[in-house]
Amino acid sequence: MSEFFDFGALSDIHEKIKAGERLSFEDGVRLYRSNHLPALGALAQMVRTRLNANRVFYSVNLHLNHTNVCTLRCLFCAFARRPGEEGGYTFSPEEIQDKVKQAIEKWQINEIHIVGGHNPDLGLDYYVRMIRMIRRANETIYIKALTAPEIDDLAVRSGMSYRDVLFTLKESGLDGLPGGGAEIFHPRVRQKICKDKISADTWLEIHRLAHELGLRTNATMLYGHIENDEDRVDHVLRLRALQDETRGFFSFIPLAYNAENTPMQKLGEAGGFLDLKVCAVSRLLLDNIPHLKAHWITTGLKLGQVALSFGVDDLGGTNLNEKIVHDAGSKTPVDLSRQELEHLIRSAGYEPRLVDSSYQYAG
């Protein structure tokens, strides 16, 4: 099909993609500067089809935010509450186990996604107990928990190395790490939007150590705020370099910035044109990360469905009980069913595959 498509100024990049050649930083910037959206989609689909054929993956997953108490002040966040601030909460490990049991019974979830605030009252023993109690509730459910900044916070407060914290959590039953906390790696942007958060190098080091311990992880990029084209390309190429080294990333997830109720609200949000461009360019640059996930709770279901034709092969999960993005103004569903996700995938012309974050077929 691409043989009959006019790629115009991107014809040389088309030749590289056909030949399986790796794209450069300059190629990435050129792709972002192009407004030939159909060409970007066609190029991305060449890579997506090569890697994943006509399959689209999804999970039936529960989002569980164990605490919103946080000592950080990230300008893009509408979820966190300072210690002692009204509206702060923390669930006990017993409450979390009960929520997981209810979700298994009600929705037959196959994965749980746990992230929260940097709560100074919660030590490593809390997280060990939480993970063990979830594992007791179900021996096979995939437990994906704690971002790299949360691992750093635990290590600092426990006086332990990153490796020891990760090893302890893995021994307790942790299967993998989500990709949160990456935001944008460039220090200029990072200093402005999340100056209290760990550096890009530290984020990458924690994921490197997780991969060495056999914990597979995801990677994210928060876009649509103050970053530019070069910042986005720099971000994904740093991920590509680590993936060359460890092969530990399962998927990459572009996260569109949702502005409502955040300190950066006046900046507005990315439009659908940029959403699709980010998907396509990310798929083209990240030639070694097998899966590209559309986080439909940030872009909306309809655009998430369209993204399946712009390099995306994973529509994410049902995202039951998701709070962080919805606190920032997302109007997407919080209780999407497996049947609704499969309908979206099939009606776009693709074949749904139920998986957890290990991408092992579950049905």
Say if 324 falls within a structural domain: yes
Tokens 């190395």 found at: 161
Say if 94 falls within a structural domain: yes
Say if 39 falls within a structural domain: no
Tokens 């499969």 found at: 342
Tell how many helices (H) and how many strands (E) occur in the chain: 15, 10
Tens of pLDDT, residues 117-145: 999 999 999 999 999 999 999 999 999 99
Rounded Cα distance between 151 and 139, Å, is 24
Give the confidence band of 331 by pLDDT, cuts at 50, 70, 90: low
Q: What is the pLDDT of residue 363?
A: 47
Give the confidence band of 203 by pLDDT, cuts at 50, 70, 90: very high
CATH (domain of 331): 3.20.20.70
Rounded Cα distance between 230 and 235, Å, is 8
Say if 362 falls within a structural domain: no
Rounded Cα distance between 167 and 163, Å, is 6
Say if 143 falls within a structural domain: yes
Note down the domain range covering 336.
53-354
pTM confidence score: 0.91
Tokens of 303: 């655009």
What are the beta bridge partners of residue 253? 220
Most confident of 27-41, 61-75, 267-281, 317-331: 27-41
Number of domains in the chain: 1
Give the rounded percent of residues in the chain with a pLDDT score beyond 70: 90
Say if 301 falls within a structural domain: yes
Tens of pLDDT, residues 265-280: 556 567 899 999 999 9
Say if 5 falls within a structural domain: no
Say if 30 falls within a structural domain: no
